[in-house]
Amino acid sequence: MFAPTPTSLRAIAATALFCGAACALPASADSQINLALVGPTTPVVVNQVIDVKLRATQEQIGSLVGTSFVAIDCILGWNPKQLQLVGLVSAGSVPLLSSYFPTPTSDYTGINEIVPPADGNALYYALAPLGNPVQVPLTGVQVVTFRFRVKTAFAKSTITILPTLNIRTPADTIVYDGTVPGLDVTGTLSPSVVVQAPACPADFDGNGAVGSPDLATMLNSWGTAGPADLNGSGVVDAPDLGILLGSWGACPGT
């Protein structure tokens, strides 16, 4: 199988430089392709493996330009103290010729220090089958899935698509048009926010431990509904007190 290097992807996208008037580039595209990260819709927990999908959607249909892509350069950013990038998953994604993180020796940008990158930023490449650009409808397509592991406790953690990053040489997130060689049709870049389930629901004051202040909060709410109703029965009572006492002390992950 053909495995293009980072420079070959840019070379393919730059073929317009050699085809003259036959494929003259327009000043702009009538349509654009947006990239979005779609993560878990429910709270996660420490050590859980989660999937974050990279999706491409089209907007402002006006012509064949900006409705398909031949290549995508995508730069990811995340908090490496909270999340660990595990790798790529192709299941459920559109067929691609190549979908990968370039190795440190082939990544001329210097972004990928190892594969998979672990320092909080990563460069990803997608290449459509030769001669068969990936069509992007309004409903969108799934390009690839980035797999992460939740490392520590947090309220929320954001995984972003960085528009540009300069480590060794400048690099950009770019969607290359499938009709006009080399045309940049990149639209909006949307992040994914991962929310973590409370590791300690009885920690009402959020200090990282269940203790006397939390017990006082529960007793002051006795017989009523509210956050101290830990079992969701509609009233704060003895079962809730049992849950609180059973989680007494430091919260997991703190």
Q: What confidence tens digit (pLDDT) does each residue in 195-246 have?
A: 887 768 888 887 888 999 999 999 999 999 888 998 888 999 999 999 899 8
Report the phi/psi class of residue 141: left, alpha or beta, with left for phi > 0 and alpha for psi in -120 to 50: beta
Residue-wise pLDDT for 34-65, tens only, equals 999 999 998 887 889 999 999 999 987 666 67
Give yes or no for residue 15 having a pLDDT over 50. Answer: no
Whether 33 and 69 have beta carbons less than 8 Å apart is answered as yes
Measured distance CA(105)–CA(196) in Å, rounded: 36
Give yes or no for residue 145 having a pLDDT over 70. Answer: yes
**Rounded mean pLDDT, 184-195:** 95
pTM, rounded to two decimals: 0.74
Give start-end residues of each CATH 1.10.1330 domain in the chain.
209-250
Mean pLDDT of the chain: 87
Predicted confidence band at 153 (pLDDT cuts at 50, 70, 90)? confident
Give start-end residues of each CATH 2.60.40.680 domain in the chain.
6-195
Q: Which of 182, 161, 188 is nearest to 32 (CA)?
A: 188
Pairing of the two strands 83-89 and 141-150: antiparallel
How would CATH label the architecture of 6-195?
Answer: Sandwich (2.60)
Mention the CATH class of domain 209-250: mainly alpha
